Structure 1
């Protein structure tokens, strides 16, 4: 399996995070913020029911939502665009204009005004875009960090194990990326960050993954970049089982 570069671009105005090669899993949700109800943009045959008042397809209850997410992951199905909401009663208070705004959000992949609705009290809007992009609006952008931390562990594990024999060598286990490192990298997300696993290299037991600014130039995601343009490195020491971060100080 070839190496895959990660892409993260945070829009601080609308509070959405655009990503590529970072999937979405149940474990990414903070425990107290797991959706209790969601509105689906698409009608799935096996999940949810139509609400007669709004004609939205709904999945109600955290357990049913969890089954939907897990089934989609297991069957490698595309998850519908969705938005969460707290109570059915308040959702029924949506005006025709607000319903139109939600439908526009689902189909245009952008908000007319805001992606966060007072009557829904939603914390997320999940959208899938062309070219493998994923766009999630976060009421609290810190909720993205667990996704980033998990993705880094997954891809670093693949990097460490890419040359190991399937049968004769024990697979290396990568420790969790510390939250403090995710928080240190986070300010760079606004610039469009490529976590450059394709140009990662090893020195002794230390694995260096370059960081590059690509803004919204997605063609740069699969192209090698000059080492002088790297803005830093995320490093994993497989002997010490420890992560570290090195950033170039003379860059904005």
Structure 2
């Protein structure tokens, strides 16, 4: 079963999202435009081609990048660690210091200077972290909204159909509205947990509580005190409608 506790920490200074439980079910939601090439910085040798200038494997061409993304669906660690880049010629202009900075990102999971390199023209850095966490740098942070909306929808589909009999059809769930995700940014900045584990049902309505975990990562999988809820996501089965309230400023 997929994670029942979703965690999102939005960092608007460095433009990254630290998350857990936001599984990629549709590779088109991972990035809005398929990158031209990928620089694989996790030390793998069994994929792509070796680039002698950087010492990393690279995946060249959008078709190959798309295949790499598709192969990673439903495999939490398959995406590994990568940075997109525009062309090999500019990649080969990276200095030893810049290459060492990229090595540092892969090792320490954080950046020394800007995570967006002029020579790479990268829009993303994707890092698979221990314990199921993922860190992704976005040149444009709102691109994460598609992933979050998909994750909420997928979890609700799973929960609502969890106890159906094998001969019953899956119940329809209206996709969570992407345009509403921006309303969650204040709690994302604090480190938000969306607890499907503590979801309750009442009179045709599903209530999913929201909590603040900040940087207490070990608490993400635990039950939270209902009194500490900072909001609720509501799904109305009768009207196929999403609602939410956020009691946090």
Q: Residues of 2 paired with 1:194 and 1:66: CA distance?
A: 30
If the length of structure 1 is used for normalisation, what is the TM-score? 0.92
Contact 1:181 1:244 in 2 (8 A): no
The DSSP-based 3-state class of the residue aligned with 2:78 is: coil
Alignment of 1:168-179 (within 5 A): 169-179=168-178
Which consecutive aligned stretches of 4+ in structure 1 deviate over 3 angstroms post-superposition?
Answer: 74-77
Contact 2:23 2:74 in 1 (8 A): no
- Shift in Å, 1:40: 0.4
Partner of 1:108: 108
- Gap change, CA 1:73 and 1:180, over 3 Å in 2: closer
- Shift in Å, 1:64: 0.2
Aligned residues: 247
If the length of structure 2 is used for normalisation, what is the TM-score? 0.93
Alignment of 1:156 onto 2:183: no
Contact 2:34 2:65 in 1 (8 A): no
List gaps (5 residues or longer) in structure 2. none
Q: Residues of 1 paired with 2:100 and 2:218: CA distance?
A: 34
Q: Residues of 1 paired with 2:28 and 2:172: CA distance?
A: 19
Q: Give the stretch that moved more between structures: 114-123 or 173-182.
A: 173-182
Alignment of 1:62-141 (within 5 A): 62-73=62-73, 78-141=78-141
Partner of 1:7: 7
Partner of 1:20: 20
- Gap change, CA 1:3 and 1:144, over 3 Å in 2: closer
Q: Residues of 2 paired with 1:242 and 1:212: CA distance?
A: 22
* RMSD of aligned alpha carbons: 1.7
- Shift in Å, 1:228: 1.9
- Shift in Å, 1:159: 1.4
Contact 1:196 1:210 in 2 (8 A): yes
Q: Give the stretch that moved more between structures: 211-220 or 189-198.
A: 211-220
Alignment of 1:228-247 (within 5 A): 228-247=227-246
The Cα offsets for residues 171-199 of structure 1, whole Å up to 9 and x where unpaired, read as 11211111222111122101000001111
Q: Residues of 2 paired with 1:3 and 1:118: CA distance?
A: 37
- Gap change, CA 1:29 and 1:221, over 3 Å in 2: closer
List gaps (5 residues or longer) in structure 1. none
- Shift in Å, 1:155: 0.3
